[in-house]
């Protein structure tokens, strides 16, 4: 038995949860479930990032106190975990405004200070509120942040800085191992960032400008830069630094660690966070997987364009497992993907209503009509080894393709052999053969359910139950 740790990034609590974050959650959930079913002990973390200018400003715009504002949105994010939403098997939901997290962030600060990696400097820079970060001239396009389409503010203040540059060599060493970043091209991207030269980055704000943050230990005039604070969540959630439950030792120090993040996070997760860990003398993350973005009809989803597809909208229209299905099979796990309601409807109808749902209904219809007893499972119908192989490589879409290929074969078997005709034959040998085919199909359903267990947990359980009690289940994927 191994101890395995997995965490998503934490979304800002300034908006309702985004479909891209739902993708990240579901990908992480599949891995957590697969490892658990293989006998590993798993700690699956997610949560919300609750400090920083962006959250503070959004609360002000909404006319609310920051605490009331973040409580509302944190609840909206947390609800995604529920069985009726994305049905996630998370072990922890960390909120960066909690006192346990605050203490961990301060301890991280002290450790980095003890290594002489934090210093105070007067600074003037181009600050993008959308990024919560200072940008350099070369990041700008036509004087604007290309990601947020706003001109950065010129900020002049005294900030604490982290000695990022000092860790160039150590980070390049860390990045040598091929598995530290998946996919490979993102690892190259990270290596290139470092090779271009790292600049020390600001890790605090003057409190008079922004009070909504973790106080800097030993300096009342400053609060921590939101990234420095938030990144520490990956270990504060495990009880670091006190580690009274022993989870930090078990899952981080002695376990295998994986973080899941969006493709714009390479600099933060694989460089800044790793440099902080190096400074604090804590083991680096074993692996970070980066997923792509989801656009709608070729455009970035935004309120102003009115093309936002929220995870709650998906669950409402298709149900929990069908939403998980769409995110895992029809969204490329590593590249950008595009969705529209039309295409989502097509996938649902073709592959769930007419595909899996229809196969279950037909097979269980034949089984209950023509077989006296439940079908006994045998060793010969095995689950698909490709599913585990693809999943371990984060190719969730190919794992699902493999399951649907099997569904296609079973449909073909029914169409060619027509067991529903054979069972009515006067010829005993034809009838016996038809009954054998029906039994084989029931075992196929059971094997498909085994393969679907981590991807579509309720569907899997419902199929297994139907086979076990020998009863045709309710329509799992009703027509739209
Ligand atoms: Zn920006």
Q: Separation of 136 CA from ligand 1 center, angstroms?
A: 11
Tokens representing 288 are 């970070």
**Which residues in the chain are classed under CATH 1.10.730.10?**
340-469
Q: Separation of 230 CA from ligand 1 center, angstroms?
A: 18
Residue 69: how many other CB atoms lie within 10 Å: 21
Tokens representing 172 are 């390049």
CA angle at residue 379 from 375 to 382, to 5 degrees? 95
Give the tens place of pLDDT for each residue, 298-344: 999 988 888 899 999 999 999 999 999 999 999 999 999 999 999 99
Give the tens place of pLDDT for each residue, 379-432: 777 778 899 999 999 999 999 999 999 999 999 999 999 999 999 999 999 999
The torsion angle over the Cα atoms of residues 237, 238, 242 and 246, rounded to 10 degrees, is 160
Q: Separation of 71 CA from ligand 1 center, angstroms?
A: 25
pLDDT attached to residue 449? 97
Q: Separation of 437 CA from ligand 1 center, angstroms?
A: 60
CATH number of 340-469: 1.10.730.10
Q: Separation of 15 CA from ligand 1 center, angstroms?
A: 17
pLDDT attached to residue 350? 98
Q: Separation of 253 CA from ligand 1 center, angstroms?
A: 34
Give the tens place of pLDDT for each residue, 23-53: 999 999 999 999 999 999 999 999 999 998 8
Q: Separation of 205 CA from ligand 1 center, angstroms?
A: 17
Using alpha carbons, select from 81, 333, 99 the residue that is nearest to residue 229: 99
At residue 310, the 3 state secondary structure works out as: coil
Give the tens place of pLDDT for each residue, 265-284: 999 999 999 999 999 999 99
Q: Separation of 51 CA from ligand 1 center, angstroms?
A: 17
Tokens representing 299 are 């455009």
For residues 396 and 337, give the distance between their C-alpha atoms in angstroms, rounded to a whole number.
Answer: 14
Q: Separation of 29 CA from ligand 1 center, angstroms?
A: 30
Give the tens place of pLDDT for each residue, 174-202: 999 999 999 999 999 999 999 999 999 98
Q: Separation of 141 CA from ligand 1 center, angstroms?
A: 11
Q: Separation of 145 CA from ligand 1 center, angstroms?
A: 5
Q: Separation of 472 CA from ligand 1 center, angstroms?
A: 54
pLDDT attached to residue 155? 85
Q: For residue 233, what pLDDT band results from cuts at 50, 70 and 90? A: very high
Q: For residue 15, what pLDDT band results from cuts at 50, 70 and 90? A: confident
Query: What are 127's strand-pairing partners?
Result: 134, 153
Contact 127, 153 (CB under 8 A): yes
Q: Separation of 270 CA from ligand 1 center, angstroms?
A: 19
Q: Separation of 383 CA from ligand 1 center, angstroms?
A: 46
Strands 201-202 and 118-128: unpaired
For residues 248 and 245, give the distance between their C-alpha atoms in angstroms, rounded to a whole number.
Answer: 8
Give the tens place of pLDDT for each residue, 80-120: 999 999 999 999 999 999 999 999 999 999 999 999 999 99
Q: Separation of 130 CA from ligand 1 center, angstroms?
A: 5
Long-range contacts formed by 33-41: CB under 8 A, 24+ apart: 33/89, 33/453, 33/454, 33/457, 34/388, 34/391, 34/454, 35/2, 35/4, 35/6, 36/89, 37/453, 37/454, 39/1, 40/1, 40/2, 40/3, 40/4, 41/1, 41/2, 41/3, 41/4, 41/250
Give 347-405 as a DSSP string: HIIIIIIIIIIHHHHHHHHHHHHH-SSPPPP-TTSPPPHHHHHHHHTT-HHHHHHHHHH
Residue 424: how many other CB atoms lie within 10 Å: 10
Q: Separation of 267 CA from ligand 1 center, angstroms?
A: 14
Q: Separation of 55 CA from ligand 1 center, angstroms?
A: 15
Give the tens place of pLDDT for each residue, 422-463: 999 999 999 999 999 999 999 999 999 999 999 999 999 999
**Which residues in the chain are classed under CATH 3.40.50.620?**
3-291
Query: What are 118's strand-pairing partners?
Result: 162
Q: Which CATH superfamily is domain 3-291 in?
A: HUPs (3.40.50.620)
Tokens representing 260 are 């899941």
Tokens representing 228 are 């420095």
Side-chain half-sphere of 111: how many Cα atoms within 13 Å?
Answer: 18
| Residue owning tokens 């994986």 | 258
Q: What is the pLDDT of the chain when averaged over all its residues?
A: 95
Q: Separation of 263 CA from ligand 1 center, angstroms?
A: 15
Q: Separation of 228 CA from ligand 1 center, angstroms?
A: 17
Give 60-126 as a DSSP string: HHTT--HHHHHHHHHHHHHGGGSTTTT----SEEEETTSHHHHHHHHHHHHHHHHTT-EEEEEEEEE
Q: For residue 130, what pLDDT band results from cuts at 50, 70 and 90? A: confident
For residues 442 and 414, give the distance between their C-alpha atoms in angstroms, rounded to a whole number.
Answer: 12
Side-chain half-sphere of 362: how many Cα atoms within 13 Å?
Answer: 21
Q: Separation of 335 CA from ligand 1 center, angstroms?
A: 21
Q: Separation of 13 CA from ligand 1 center, angstroms?
A: 17
Q: Separation of 5 CA from ligand 1 center, angstroms?
A: 31
Q: Separation of 261 CA from ligand 1 center, angstroms?
A: 18
Q: Separation of 148 CA from ligand 1 center, angstroms?
A: 5
Sign of CA dihedral 146, 148, 154, 155: negative
pLDDT attached to residue 431? 97
């Amino acid at each position: 038995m191994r101890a395995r740790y997995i965490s998503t990034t934490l979304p800002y609590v300034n908006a309702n949860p985004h479909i891209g974050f739902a993708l990240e959650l579901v990908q992480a959930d599949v891995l957590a479930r697969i490892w658990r079913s293989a006998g590993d002990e798993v700690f699956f973390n997610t949560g919300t990032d609750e400090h920083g200018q962006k959250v503070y400003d959004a609360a002000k715009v909404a006319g609310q106190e920051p605490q009331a504002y973040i409580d509302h949105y944190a609840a909206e994010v947390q609800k995604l975990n529920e069985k009726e939403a994305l049905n996630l098997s998370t072990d922890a939901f960390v909120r960066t405004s909690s006192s346990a997290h605050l203490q961990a962030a301060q301890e991280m600060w002290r450790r980095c200070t003890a290594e002489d990696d934090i210093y105070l400097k007067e600074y003037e820079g181009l600050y993008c509120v959308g990024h919560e970060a200072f940008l350099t001239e070369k990041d700008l396009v036509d004087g604007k942040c290309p990601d947020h389409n706003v001109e950065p503010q010129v900020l002049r203040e005294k900030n604490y800085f982290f000695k990022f540059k000092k860790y160039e060599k150590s980070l390049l060493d860390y990045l040598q191992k091929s598995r530290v970043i998946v996919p490979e091209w993102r690892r190259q991207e990270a290596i290139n960032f470092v090779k271009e030269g790292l600049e020390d980055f600001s890790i605090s704000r003057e409190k008079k400008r922004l009070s909504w943050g973790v106080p800097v230990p030993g300096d009342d005039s400053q609060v921590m830069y939101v990234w420095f604070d938030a990144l520490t969540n990956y270990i504060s959630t495990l009880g670091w630094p006190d580690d009274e439950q022993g989870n930090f030792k078990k899952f981080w120090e002695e376990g295998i660690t994986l973080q899941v993040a969006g493709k714009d996070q390479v600099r933060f997760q694989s460089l800044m966070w790793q440099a902080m860990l190096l400074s604090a003398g804590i083991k680096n993350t074993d692996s970070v997987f980066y997923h792509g973005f989801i656009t709608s009809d070729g455009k970035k989803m935004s309120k102003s364009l009115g093309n936002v597809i929220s995870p709650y909208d998906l669950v409402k229209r298709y149900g929990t497992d069908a939403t998980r299905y769409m995110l895992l099979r029809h969204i490329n796990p590593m590249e950008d993907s595009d969705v529209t309601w039309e295409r989502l409807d097509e996938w649902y109808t073709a592959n769930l209503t007419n595909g899996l749902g229809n196969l279950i209904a037909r097979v269980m219809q034949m089984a209950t009509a023509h077989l006296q007893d439940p079908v006994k499972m045998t060793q010969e119908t095995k689950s698909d080894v490709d599913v585990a192989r693809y999943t371990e490589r984060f190719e969730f879409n190919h794992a699902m393709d493999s399951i649907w290929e099997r569904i296609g074969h079973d449909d073909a078997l029914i169409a060619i052999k027509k067991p529903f005709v054979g069972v009515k034959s006067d010829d005993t040998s034809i009838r016996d053969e038809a009954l054998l085919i029906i039994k084989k199909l029931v075992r196929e359903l059971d094997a498909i359910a085994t393969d679907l267990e981590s991807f579509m947990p309720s569907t899997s359980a419902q199929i297994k139950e139907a086979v076990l009690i020998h009863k045709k289940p309710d329509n799992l994927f009703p027509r739209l």
